[in-house]
């Protein structure tokens, strides 16, 4: 028996007036999801805990069986892993943006006019060494970069230099704790940022940008400092060989943190334009090789954050069609859920629980006939916690280890 866990990011929602009080999922035509729910077991899931508004990073750790209170050190780690960098235990990782500031250090644009490619800048920053600490810098998507600080005496207890507000002055990095390591890390960071400012301002790319009326990239904003603990292994913890199919960097990063193989799919972009069908096709194929496939779809969350309830509903219909690719799949426990709700009315994550369905051979089928927030509330799984999901799936796949004798 194999396991396929599909996470539709930000799936859950609240009643939408123009849908007559239905949610985008309830309004969408989802014959394939309904069929899976009808022949499976359903319920609601709080990914971290009741009423907790999860970030996508912490929610995924929890759902994949690694409690964030134990394993989460910050977003920066998943960011650098997601763009293919190789952090080591003891490093500190950051998410970074190229930004535009004026002479006094006030932020004009946090994304340097939505600069599309940071590689000419990252190349010149990569390898700088300050007080024995080496900085590794790689381009991410659009205006983003990943930064790793490597060397002795570092820690992740430092604040961002990013005030997150246009018109405010960039901040000096401050230690977030009164420890020698935090003070040292902040000192090195400030030296790096001063040097980085000098280097990026001088980049010939800025001359070209100015000529075409674009904002220069003359500052580096860093945030989400994360100390690298020991990298974990999903396979070691659960005894399952696992692969991940995802377009978004964060999800690839979480998967790499857990030692999962990344399975690349053409057209998997992590945007609403993604080729979901290709992802499910590939998942079906990959299940021949792997015991567990984690398939992530981002578009639901993006459209929820845009407040685009019609778009979210249509995107769910597109996902449902793609799930049709699983037709004829055998010996597989299929689970579909989300990582948190992203109600269109809030344009943000919320702590509302998510519908969850599990389908597969031998499952105690419940009376629920469709996949929706309210329908699943009366399902046989009742209300579970994110951390319960993988153990439930392993049990249903007949792979659970006997506890006791």
Positions touching Zn ion (CB under 5 A) are 9, 56, 301, 339
> Nearer Cβ to Zn ion, position 46 or 339?
339
Output phi, psi for 253, to 5 deg: -65, -45
> Nearer Cβ to Zn ion, position 235 or 306?
306
> Nearer Cβ to Zn ion, position 9 or 91?
9
Q: How far is the CB of 343 from Zn ion (least distance, A)?
A: 13
Helices 309-323, 31-38: axis angle to 10 degrees equals: 60
Tell me the CA distances in angstroms from 370 to 24, 29, 119, 202, 316, one per residue in order: 14, 10, 47, 59, 14
> Nearer Cβ to Zn ion, position 339 or 388?
339
Q: How far is the CB of 32 from Zn ion (least distance, A)?
A: 22
Answer for the pair 101, 206: CB distance below 8 angstroms, yes or no.
Answer: no
Q: How far is the CB of 336 from Zn ion (least distance, A)?
A: 15
The distance from CA 336 to its chain's CA centroid, rounded to whole angstroms, is 17
> Nearer Cβ to Zn ion, position 8 or 375?
8
Distance from C-alpha of 320 to C-alpha of 301, rounded to nearest angstrom: 16
Region of 348 (left: φ > 0; alpha: ψ -120 to 50; beta: rest) is beta
Q: How far is the CB of 7 from Zn ion (least distance, A)?
A: 8
Q: How far is the CB of 301 from Zn ion (least distance, A)?
A: 5
> Nearer Cβ to Zn ion, position 9 or 79?
9
Answer for the pair 319, 276: CB distance below 8 angstroms, yes or no.
Answer: yes
Q: How far is the CB of 339 from Zn ion (least distance, A)?
A: 4
Distance from C-alpha of 405 to C-alpha of 392, rounded to nearest angstrom: 20
The residue whose Cβ lies closest to Zn ion is: 56
Q: How far is the CB of 6 from Zn ion (least distance, A)?
A: 13
Q: How far is the CB of 59 from Zn ion (least distance, A)?
A: 6
> Nearer Cβ to Zn ion, position 307 or 380?
307
Distance from C-alpha of 57 to C-alpha of 152, rounded to nearest angstrom: 27
The partner residues of 242 in beta bridges, in order of sequence, read: 292
> Nearer Cβ to Zn ion, position 46 or 301?
301
Transcribe 319-376 into DSSP letters.
Answer: HHHHHGGGTT--SEEEEEE-SSB--TTTTS-B---EEEEEE-TT----S--S-STTGG
Virtual CA dihedral for 118, 121, 126, 128, nearest 10 degrees?
-140
Q: How far is the CB of 31 from Zn ion (least distance, A)?
A: 25
- Token representation of residue 392: 């439930």
Answer for the pair 367, 39: CB distance below 8 angstroms, yes or no.
Answer: no
> Nearer Cβ to Zn ion, position 30 or 56?
56
């Amino acid at each position: 028996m194999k396991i396929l866990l599909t996470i539709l990011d930000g799936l859950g929602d609240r009643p939408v007036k123009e849908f007559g009080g239905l949610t985008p999922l309830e309004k969408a035509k989802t014959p394939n999801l309904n069929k899976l729910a009808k022949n499976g077991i359903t319920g609601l899931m709080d990914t971290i805990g009741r009423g907790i508004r999860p970030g996508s990073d912490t929610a995924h750790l929890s759902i994949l069986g690694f409690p964030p209170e134990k394993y989460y050190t910050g977003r920066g780690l998943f960011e650098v892993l997601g763009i293919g960098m190789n952090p080591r235990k003891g490093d500190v990782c950051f998410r970074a943006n190229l930004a535009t500031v004026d002479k006094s250090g006030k932020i004009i644009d946090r994304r340097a006019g939505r600069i599309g490619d940071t590689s000419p800048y990252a190349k010149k920053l990569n390898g700088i060494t300050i007080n024995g600490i080496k900085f590794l810098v790689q381009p991410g998507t659009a205006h983003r970069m990943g930064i790793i600080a490597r060397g002795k005496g570092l820690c992740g207890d430092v604040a961002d230099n990013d005030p997150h507000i246009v018109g405010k002055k960039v901040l000096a990095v401050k230690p977030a704790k009164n420890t020698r390591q935090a003070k040292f890390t902040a000192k090195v960071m400030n030296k790096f940022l001063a040097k980085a400012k000098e280097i990026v301002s001088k980049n010939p790319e800025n001359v070209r940008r100015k000529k075409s009326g674009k904002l220069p990239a003359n500052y580096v904003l860093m945030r989400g400092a994360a100390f690298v603990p020991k990298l974990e292994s999903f396979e070691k913890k659960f005894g399952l060989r696992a692969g991940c199919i995802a377009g978004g960097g964060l999800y690839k990063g979480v998967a790499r943190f857990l030692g999962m193989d990344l399975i690349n799919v053409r057209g998997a972009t992590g945007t609403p334009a993604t080729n979901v069908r290709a992802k499910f096709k590939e998942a079906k194929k990959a299940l021949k090789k792997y015991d567990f496939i984690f398939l992530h779809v981002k578009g639901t969350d993006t459209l929820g954050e845009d407040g685009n309830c019609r778009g979210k509903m249509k995107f769910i219909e597109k996902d449902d069609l793609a799930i049709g690719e699983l037709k004829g799949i055998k010996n597989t426990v299929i689970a579909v859920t989300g990582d948190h709700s992203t109600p269109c009315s809030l344009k943000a994550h919320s702590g509302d629980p998510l519908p969850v369905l599990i389908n597969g051979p031998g499952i105690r089928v419940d009376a629920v006939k469709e996949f929706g927030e309210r329908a699943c509330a009366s399902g046989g799984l009742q209300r579970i916690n994110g951390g319960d999901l993988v153990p439930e799936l392993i049990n249903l796949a007949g792979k659970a280890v006997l506890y006791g004798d």
